Amino acid sequence: MVERVKDTTSALKDRAIDEAKGYSDPQDTQLWKSIFRVSHDRSDPRNRSLAILSNVFLHLHPAKINRDAVRYPFTWGMGGITFYLFIVLTFTGVLLMFYYHPTKADAFRDILYLEHDVPFGKLLRNMHRWAAHLMVITTWLHMFRVVLTGSYKRPREFNWCVGVVLLVLTLLLSFTGYLLPDDQLGFWAVTVGTNMARATPMLGHDGPFGPQLGMTAYNDVRFGLLGGSIVDANALLRSYIWHCIGIPLVASIFMAVHFWRIRKDGGISGPAPVVLESEMKAVAKKK
């Protein structure tokens, strides 16, 4: 009896050791294969391609790119960094939303609560604000690089336009967030900003031809933006909804188009071989 138990346990032990040896390479496990579908064998070019193509997060990339395109001085990495900052902002923004009520009674107090009581609340708010500022800067620098390398030229004209829309959305995202702490800084910045809207030609009650078309402080475009004739509770709520839902949603759609078009337009523009002046045709080809 004792012998049998001993035999069985030693057989079981051998089997366990055998199996464990099989797990020494995690890439050979069923679990790994089910998640990643390919083993990341560095020496196999096919696997390197599959690592990109079969990954939902990386499939926006082509499997191969221009060998000089990974050099930092060409792209400055600003487009990618801008997208990463958008992700950081979404992440910190969602966390902030747990602690924030967009009402006149609560908004300012919630910020104080975040700063003084919520664990890492101050860090969270700081990071959200500085990432937003940084995103404006990186968007501009990204545009600047695209201009300097002439990357907006055929066939990428339309993607440049999408980019301009994204720039405006970035600025609007920042601006709508400015009011949310409901402090003097945001309140007066938004007052100044929306006061310009009352001067919109034809649609604002202070703008050219506005009064003639029946615009008053209670029905013009500024009223629509603020949900009232002054910056108050409704303006706070509208800001909040545009900031957290409306604009991010629209921006995400434009971003999807922006990234998709990069691929469809042939990847990033360079560094391309230089073309000589003497090779330029005298007249532009038709279509």
Partner 1 sequence: MKRFINKWTIWGALVVITIIWAINVSDWHQLWKISSAPDNVPIVAMLFLVPFFTWLGIKQAVANDRLIDELEKDPKAAKTHHRKVEPWRPGWAREIHVWPYLVRVEFLATVIVTVVLFVWSITLNAPLEEPANPNLTMNPSKAPWYFLGLQEMLVYFDPWIAGVVMPSIIMVGLMAFPYVDSNPLGNGYYTLKQRRFALWMFGAGFLMWIVLIVIGTFIRGPGWIWFWPGQTWDHNAVVFDKNVDLHDMIATSAIGKALHLGFLAYNPGKFIFGMLVVGGFFLVGGLFFHWLMTVDLKRIRLRRPFKENLFPKNEFEQKILARTSLLQYLTFQFFAVSVLLALPVKLILRLALTIKYVWVTPWFNI
Which CB, 124 or 244, lies closer to partner 1? 124
DSSP at 245: I
Residues between 45 and 74 that touch partner 1 (CB under 8 A):
45, 48-49, 51-52, 58, 61-74
175 lies in the binding site for partner 1 (CB under 8 A): yes
CB 102 within 8 A of CB 237: yes
Task: Name the burial class of residue 170, with classes exposed (0-12), middle (13-18) and buried (19+) by CB atoms within 10 angstroms of its CB.
Answer: buried
Residues between 239 and 278 that touch partner 1 (CB under 8 A):
269-278
Residues in CB range of 50: below 8 A, 6 or more apart: 37, 38
Binding partner 1 by CB under 8 A: which of 130, 218, 263, 264? 130
117 lies in the binding site for partner 1 (CB under 8 A): no
Buried b (16+ CB within 10 A) or exposed e, 51-66: beeeeeeeeebeeeee
CB of residue 214 to partner 1, shortest distance in Å: 15
Which CB, 108 or 254, lies closer to partner 1? 108
144 lies in the binding site for partner 1 (CB under 8 A): yes
CB 231 within 8 A of CB 224: no
Binding partner 1 by CB under 8 A: which of 103, 115, 228, 254? 115
Q: Which strand (E) or helix (H) includes residue 247? A: helix 247-264
154 lies in the binding site for partner 1 (CB under 8 A): yes
Number of residues forming the site for partner 1 (CB under 8 A): 108
Which CB, 33 or 64, lies closer to partner 1? 64
CB of residue 92 to partner 1, shortest distance in Å: 9
Separation of first and last alpha carbons in the chain: 91
Which CB, 15 or 33, lies closer to partner 1? 33
CA-closest candidate to residue 94, choices 248, 253, 239, 226: 248
Which CB, 246 or 270, lies closer to partner 1? 270
156 lies in the binding site for partner 1 (CB under 8 A): yes
In whole angstroms, give the CA distance from residue 187 to residue 236. Answer: 10
CB of residue 179 to partner 1, shortest distance in Å: 9
Which CB, 23 or 209, lies closer to partner 1? 209
